[in-house]
Structure formats: structure tokens, C-alpha cells
A = this chain, B = another copy of it.
Amino acid sequence: MKPIKVGLLGLGTVGTGVVRIIEGHQEDLQRQIGSPIEVAQILVQNKSKSRDVAVDSDKLTESPWDIINNPEIDVIVEVMGGVEETKEYLLSALNQGKHIVTANKDLMAIHGPEILLKAAENGCDVFYEASVAGGIPIIRALVEGFSSDRITKIMGIVNGTTNYILSKMSQEGAAYAEVLKEAQDLGYAEADPTSDVEGLDAARKMTILSTLGFHANVSLGDVNAKGISEVSKEDILYGKKLGYEVKLLGIAENHDGHIAVSVQPTMVKNSHPLSSVNGVFNAVYIYGEAVGETMFYGPGAGGLPTATSIVADLVAVVRNLKLGVNGRTALAPYKEKKLKTDEQITSKNFILLHVEDKAGVLAQITQIFAQHEVSLESVLQHPNANNPKAEIIIITHDAIQASIKKVLKQFESMDVIHAIKSVYRVEG
């Protein structure tokens, strides 16, 4: 039987995982797809570098075009990363009728629509399960498992690096900078951690999930992203005291076609399962009108887990190939995108203030919430013996975001309020 030939762009951790799974599970894969599957050519940066996995040196190339222009290659697996150049490679491969499996969330979040359109024009598949939440089959769940339902909310921990940092800060009472350094030493965070810690990586994943879940073309610019670099160990400590863990959550909501997507450090009630997702694990909650609430949990990164998703996509491509239906299973977004305004976004909030420690201040503060029709779930005042200022923690009921912004603006101009130390969304 003629083998299916795969061209692999990239042989880092994930690429190595792909080679390992295709070789190690060859017999099972043949049963799944009805023919052998072979990594026929591999793009590397340096052919002479030593490798963690045994690969025939004849298969290595330093030029992507050797693979893209190779007529024998049926499917391209892209695990090299990068955006603009990589896009050119993939568009060119699609023009030559090659199917694509990619783990590249940056590319799919930014150029997904263009790539998927090109795929449709050429009757090709583009699958990208590995681009979100590593080994968790979350895209399949959204696209197929809940094809019958209307998704109202997707909420998840989709970045392992920041979850590792926040988990450590919570468990050890350590400061952000200290744990970031440790994560970098362990290889859990990049030398330049901006994309992870400022929430950009999570924003890209939420772009992909909300586009699929809500059937509207959500773009990266629609996601309101805030990272964890300002989360203090005091915030985490206060959260704990009140029964919350700080987690970087991606939250996508859809009410009657009005969409809001954000990434932000969030106080998650410790009775909610997301509060106990620790370390580099990922978890995604999906709420559907009919199904109610569901959760998907698993490894968010790592060579083999991510490669599991990639090779599962490869199996799907080859099954389609055998059935002659490539390029015919994707569903383009069909809903008009209407973004929520601040008047339409509601949530609970956690607000920590430093205030003048004198009579009447609390009354003044609660009065301002009342003016803007924000009702309060709890107010905790913390007198500080060493300090003339007191700390007040306020947890609101569900409140309109625009109203909260007005309240905070008014606080800024009040002499008795020394500082708005922190403001978090509250979930769970």
C-alpha cells in the first residue's frame, strides 16, 4: 500500500514528539487510516545538529521549499512557529493541494480566515487542534461535540506558563518576579516572557476558541487582554483569605449574538474546579444553552501531548483523503460579529482600596457604589496598626462594567482614597 507522506516543518520538542508517535504507534495508525504513514521530509535550521530522535539524515532539509514543492508530500505538519513567513509557506503548500496540520496559534489567530479560505479554494484540510490547550481535544469538542448547541460562554486556563507562575505564587507565597525567574530557569517560561505573561498567548487561543464556538469571525484585536505582571503576592493572599485563587482566565461570552472576549487575572472561587487547576495544566469550561456546563482538562503543552493532537489531526486528514472529502468538512463563521459595549458586559468584581482610616470613609465609598447602582456582596475593612491607612476589600454583585469604571474614576479623585490597589474580575 502506498504510504501517506508527511512533510514536517520543524523538529523542536513538538516536532520530535510527532516523529516519535508516528514511529511508535505505526501499527495502530495503519489500522486507523488503512495505509502506512511516513515522515518523508523534515525542515530543520541546522542539518548537522545532533537530535533527540533518530532520523535519517537524507530526510532533513534546511529549505522549506524543498518540502512545499515536493510533489510526493501529501500533508504538511507545521510546528516551526512564526507568522508572516510561515503563512507564505502554508498558502503556497495549499496552492499545491497539500493539506495542513498546524500547532501555530499565533498564525491561526491572526491569519486563520485567510488560510482557511485558501484551503477551501483548493479542496484542502487545515486542522489545528494542537493550537489550543495542547493535548486536550477542545476544538473537536466545540466543533463536533457541541455542533447542536448554542455556546454562551467559554472560560479557561489556556496558558501553562502563567498558570505555573500563579500556582507557585499561591502555594509558596512568593513574589511574581522571583517565580518568573524560576520558571525561566526550568524552561517553563521564555527568556522574553512577554507573550505569555501579558496574556497575548492566551488572547490568541481565545480568538480561535470564540471564533469556533460563536460562529463569528472574532479577531485578535477584539480580545481585551491583561496579563499577570501586576499580580502581587498580597492580592493572592487577600484572595485566599476570602476563598479565591487568582487565575489568568480567558473568558468569551455570547448573549444573543453580542460577544465579549477577554483575558485577565481573575479571582476564582475555590469551590469552582478551575481554581484547583495547577501548574502547567490547562482546563476549559464550555457552557451551552442545552448542555449546561462542561469542563475539559489536560496537559496544555509538552512535546508528546501536543503531538497527540497533531497526529490525531493527521489521522483525520488521511481519513478524509481516503473518503475523498478533504476541504469539505470545515464550517466558515456565518454570524455577524457584534461586540459588547462596556454597558453590556457584567461581572462580579474584587476591589482592594487603601483609604484614610477615619470615620465616615466607608459610608462615602459605599455611597458611590449605590449612586452607580452597583450592589455589594461583601465589604471587608482591615485596619492596619502600623499605618494611618486602612485596607478595604469590596466584592460586588454582578455589575455593569461601565458602572464599575465610573465608580473607579470617582475614587481616583477622592482624597480619602489613597490608592486603588487592585481590581479583579470574580468568577465561580
Give me the interface of A with B, judged by CB distance under 8 Å: 17, 20-21, 25, 28-29, 31-32, 129, 135-137, 140-141, 144-150, 215, 273, 276, 288, 290-299, 302, 304-305, 307-312, 314-316, 319, 323, 325, 328-329, 331, 334
CB <8 Å contact, B323 and A328: yes
User: CB < 8 Å: which of B141, B147, B290, B294 contacts A17?
Assistant: B290
Question: Do A290 and B304 touch across chains, with their CB atoms under 8 A apart?
Answer: yes
Q: Are A149 and B25 in contact (CB under 8 A)?
A: yes
Give 26 CB contacts A-B under 8 Å.
A25-B149, A29-B148, A31-B331, A31-B334, A32-B147, A32-B331, A129-B145, A137-B146, A140-B140, A140-B141, A144-B316, A146-B308, A146-B312, A149-B308, A290-B304, A290-B305, A290-B307, A291-B298, A291-B299, A291-B308, A292-B299, A294-B298, A297-B297, A319-B329, A323-B325, A323-B328
Residues of B within 8 A of A149 (CB): 21, 25, 308, 311-312
Q: Is B329 touching A305 in the complex (CB atoms < 8 A)?
A: no
Cβ-closest chain B residue relative to A141: B137
Kindly state the separation between the CA atoms of A328 and B325 in the bound complex, as whole angstroms. Answer: 12
A314 — which chain B residues lie within 8 A by C-beta? 148
- Residues in B with CB closer than 8 Å to A295 are 295-298
CB distance B144 to A312 under 8 Å?
Answer: yes
CA distance A129 to B147 in the complex (A): 13
Indicate which residue in B29, B137, B307 contacts A145 across the interface (CB closer than 8 Å): B137
Tell me if B297 and A292 are in contact (CB < 8 A): no
Are A215 and B144 in contact, with the CB atoms below 8 A?
Answer: no
A334 neighbours in B (Cβ, 8 Å): 31
Q: How far is the CA of A215 from the CA of B31 in the complex (A)?
A: 10
A328 to B34, CA, bound (A): 12
Decide: A148 and B312 in contact? CB cutoff 8 A. yes
Top 6 nearest A-B pairs by Cβ distance? A137-B145, A148-B311, A294-B298, A135-B291, A295-B297, A291-B308
- CB pair A21–B312 under 8 Å, yes or no, is no
Closest to A139 in B: B145
The answer to whether residues A137 and B144 also contact, given A273-B297, A299-B293 and a CB cut-off of 8 A, is: yes
A294 and B299 within 8 A (CB) = yes
- Counting chain B CB atoms within 10 Å of each CB, the highest count among A20, A295, A311, A319 belongs to A295
- B150–A25 CB distance below 8 A: yes
